[in-house]
């Protein structure tokens, strides 16, 4: 899944939220379990 844009630690095991899962996020994101930063996840979809 890659590493965090903020702390550069591994995002494995972090909380993943698919696009629109919370109603307003047009992009899927992953919340870093180390620092809490939202990392946009490229899904390859239009």
Q: Which helix (H) or strand (E) holds 38?
A: strand 38-41
Binding site for Zn ion (CB under 5 A): 4, 6-7, 32, 34-35, 37
In angstroms, what is the minimal distance from the CB of 46 to Zn ion? 28
User: Given the complex with Zn ion, which of 13 and 18 has the nearer CB atom?
Assistant: 13
User: Given the complex with Zn ion, which of 25 and 37 has the nearer CB atom?
Assistant: 37
> Scanning the structure block, which residue is given the tokens 């590493």?
3
CB 45 within 8 A of CB 18: no
User: Given the complex with Zn ion, which of 20 and 35 has the nearer CB atom?
Assistant: 35
8/23 Cα distance (integer angstroms):
28
């Amino acid at each position: 899944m890659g590493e965090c844009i903020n702390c550069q630690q591994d995002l494995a095991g972090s909380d993943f939220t698919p696009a629109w899962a919370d109603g307003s996020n047009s992009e899927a994101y992953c919340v870093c379990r180390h620092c809490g930063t939202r990392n946009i996840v490229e899904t390859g979809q239009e």
